[in-house]
Amino acid sequence: MAIVSQGLIVELGQRPDDTRPAADRICDAVLRQIERKVLVSGTRLPSIRAMAAACGTSRHAVVDAYDRLTAQGYLDARPGAGFYVAEGHRRLAPEPEDTRNYDVAWLIREVLETSDDWLKVGGPWLPDDWMDVEAMQQVVRSLGRGDITHLTRYGPPLGYLPLRRELQGMMARLGVELGLEQILTTGGTSQGFDLILRSLIKPGDAVLVEDPGYYNLFGYLRFHGARLIGVPRRVDGPDVDALCRLATEHGARIFFTQSALQNPTGSDTSPAVAHRLLQAAKELDLILVEDDTYCDLDPIQGVRLATLDQLDRVLYVRSFSKALSGSLRVGFVAASRELIDNLANIKVLSSISTSLFGEKLVCRLLTDGHYGRYLRRMHERIVEARNSALRLLRDAGMEIFLEPRGGNFLWARFPGIDDAKQLSERARRQGVILGVGEVFRPNLERSPWMRFNVALCDDPRLGRFLNQIRGEDEED
């Protein structure tokens, strides 16, 4: 039977008060008609164009709905002929798309476990051939000679002392004066966050975070039982007025923020906003956790809260994983002496110590004079890649949140699409994994935005996919 179901269009038109996303409404309407046996096996659904016109929505939403129903076994997609109700319309029980997208742990595992054959254009890492592998190999060989206690012993609780001295100098160059006892090394920013949360957060506490912001942090906060309260992130930093209102309304006492090269937007906190934020924190008795993960990708070294505050109510968290290697889990927390002492106790109890070998390796790389030259070359490559990616995205009709002055991220959207998840499964079928906006929102709210890693945007698969979406927009 090859009958086009016009009754489906009629049913959708009878529900003008349904304000849910168009793809959800279409899916539900199809399922209702299948359950009532109005749609039987072999019935052809309205064309994508006809359904979009009937619903007053974009073709993207219709494609998303039809793709979901096909993946669930309700429809058959016949190339060149359209979509038909499947024989027996038996659900195939795949892993639900929504469950996967709402699960931060799943997302991280997906990115880590998926074959390198996939284009992970929304991922955070720079390509392997951008890294200074040769310098790391030389240091590894040198550390294998002579004293090898770093291969067999635990590290000191606060971390490798020569590295902490180097970090003290780095903080001084940012304008932060602090003692060695105010620096604790960690296994990257992830462990830094974990230690801070164990020390300062109780289940049920309200925690202010940026919206959009860092999804891994959101996962940690949920794991610790915190209530995430999103503070809108603007091109010049967090919305301080909203922060004051939300902190008062929810009784929040801590705010996680990125002052420079914010993930995912690439935006910087302006000096004016930074001063307002610190004043608000003082009035509200807020602790500010400043995540400076992307400091090494910052060619200018803009304003830092830690510099303005001198670690009075600011905790500073940083790592070297982004510029050196994702496998080098070396970072640090800088804060007051009292808090560092408490974090060190938690570190010893939870992991005994960080990797002495890794800390010696990073220390050597930072002190041999090569690291600065390496970063300057990387900054040049990122600028070139960013300019190319901006042209690609704009040529595809995308809107750019802002042009960052540094870092490897662009935050972009298609103006006619209100939910980037509509594009996710379609991109996957072409070997592309998108960084859809909902995972960067505190409570996984729908978002039209996507994160793009500029270092990966030159892959032709991305260009083909974006051109396909642009072509559909031109036809609508």
DSSP character string of 418-447 = S-THHHHHHHHTTTB--EEGGGGSTT----
pLDDT band, very low/low/confident/very high, at 139 (cuts 50, 70, 90): confident
Inform me whether the pLDDT recorded for 146 exceeds 60.
Answer: yes
Average pLDDT over residues 99-127: 70
Most confident range (mean pLDDT) of 59-68, 113-122, 190-199 is 190-199
What torsion do the CA atoms of 28, 6, 76, 426 make, to the nearest 10 degrees?
A: -60
pLDDT of residue 101: 38
Q: Are 86 and 72 in contact (CB under 8 A)?
A: no
Choice between 60 and 316, residue whose per-residue pLDDT is larger: 316
Inform me whether the pLDDT recorded for 340 exceeds 60.
Answer: yes
**CA atoms 160, 166, 170, 172: torsion sign:** positive
Most confident range (mean pLDDT) of 103-112, 133-142, 150-159, 246-255 is 246-255
pLDDT of residue 95: 41
pLDDT of residue 390: 98
Average pLDDT over residues 65-70: 84
- Report d(CA 353, CA 124) in Å as an integer: 27
Between 6-20, 31-45, 94-108, the lowest mean confidence (pLDDT) is in 94-108
Choice between 68 and 326, residue whose per-residue pLDDT is larger: 68
Inform me whether the pLDDT recorded for 388 exceeds 90.
Answer: yes
- pLDDT tens across 173-190, in order? 999 999 999 999 999 999
Task: Report the percentage of the chain scoring pLDDT > 70.
Answer: 87
Inform me whether the pLDDT recorded for 474 exceeds 80.
Answer: no
pLDDT of residue 111: 63
In this structure, which topology does domain 102-130+373-474 adopt according to CATH?
Answer: Aspartate Aminotransferase, domain 1 (3.90.1150)
Between 122-126, 136-140, 262-266, 288-292, the lowest mean confidence (pLDDT) is in 136-140
pLDDT of residue 138: 77
pLDDT of residue 358: 86
In CATH, the number for domain 133-369 is 3.40.640.10
Residue whose token pair is 């129903």: 69
Q: Are 447 and 440 in contact (CB under 8 A)?
A: yes
Q: Which residues contact 308 (CB under 8 A, 6 or more apart)?
A: 274, 275, 278
Report the run of H or E that residue 303 belongs to, with start and end. Answer: none
Token output for 294: 């992307």
Q: Are 41 and 12 in contact (CB under 8 A)?
A: no
Positions of CATH 1.10.10.10 in the chain? 1-85
Positions of CATH 3.90.1150.10 in the chain? 102-130+373-474
Between 91-100, 196-205, 233-242, 354-363, the lowest mean confidence (pLDDT) is in 91-100
pLDDT band, very low/low/confident/very high, at 329 (cuts 50, 70, 90): confident
Positions of CATH 3.40.640.10 in the chain? 133-369
Helices (H), 254-402: 271-284, 305-309, 337-351, 356-367, 370-395
pLDDT band, very low/low/confident/very high, at 100 (cuts 50, 70, 90): very low
- Report d(CA 450, CA 427) in Å as an integer: 12
Q: Which of 112, 128, 121, 125 is nearest to 456 (CA)?
A: 121
- Report d(CA 158, CA 352) in Å as an integer: 11
What torsion do the CA atoms of 308, 309, 315, 319 make, to the nearest 10 degrees?
A: 20
Report the run of H or E that residue 69 belongs to, with start and end. Answer: helix 59-71
* 3-state SS track over 304-344: CHHHHHCCCCEEEEEECCCCCCCCCCCEEEECCHHHHHHHH
Report the run of H or E that residue 206 belongs to, with start and end. Answer: strand 206-211
Q: Which of 424, 196, 221 is nearest to 317 (CA)?
A: 196
pLDDT of residue 69: 86
pLDDT of residue 97: 41
Average pLDDT over residues 188-198: 94
Choice between 3 and 416, residue whose per-residue pLDDT is larger: 416
**Cα-based angle 264, 266, 269 (whole degrees, multiple of 5):** 115
Inform me whether the pLDDT recorded for 12 exceeds 70.
Answer: no
Q: Are 291 and 258 in contact (CB under 8 A)?
A: yes
Measured between its terminal Cα atoms, the distance across the chain in Å is 29
In this structure, which topology does domain 1-85 adopt according to CATH?
Answer: Arc Repressor Mutant, subunit A (1.10.10)
A 10 A CB-CB count for 76 gives 18
54 three-state secondary structure: helix
- Report d(CA 410, CA 388) in Å as an integer: 12
Q: Which residues contact 168 (CB under 8 A, 6 or more apart)?
A: 178, 179, 180, 183
Q: Are 65 and 30 in contact (CB under 8 A)?
A: yes
Mean pLDDT of the chain: 86
- Report d(CA 297, CA 379) in Å as an integer: 7
pLDDT of residue 264: 97
pLDDT band, very low/low/confident/very high, at 275 (cuts 50, 70, 90): very high
pLDDT of residue 2: 43
AA identity, residue 255: F
Q: Are 226 and 200 in contact (CB under 8 A)?
A: no
Average pLDDT over residues 396-425: 93
- pLDDT tens across 28-48, in order? 888 888 877 888 888 889 888
Q: Which of 370, 363, 324, 372 is nearest to 143 (CA)?
A: 363
426 burial (CB, 10 Å; 0-12 / 13-18 / 19+) is middle
Report the run of H or E that residue 144 belongs to, with start and end. Answer: none
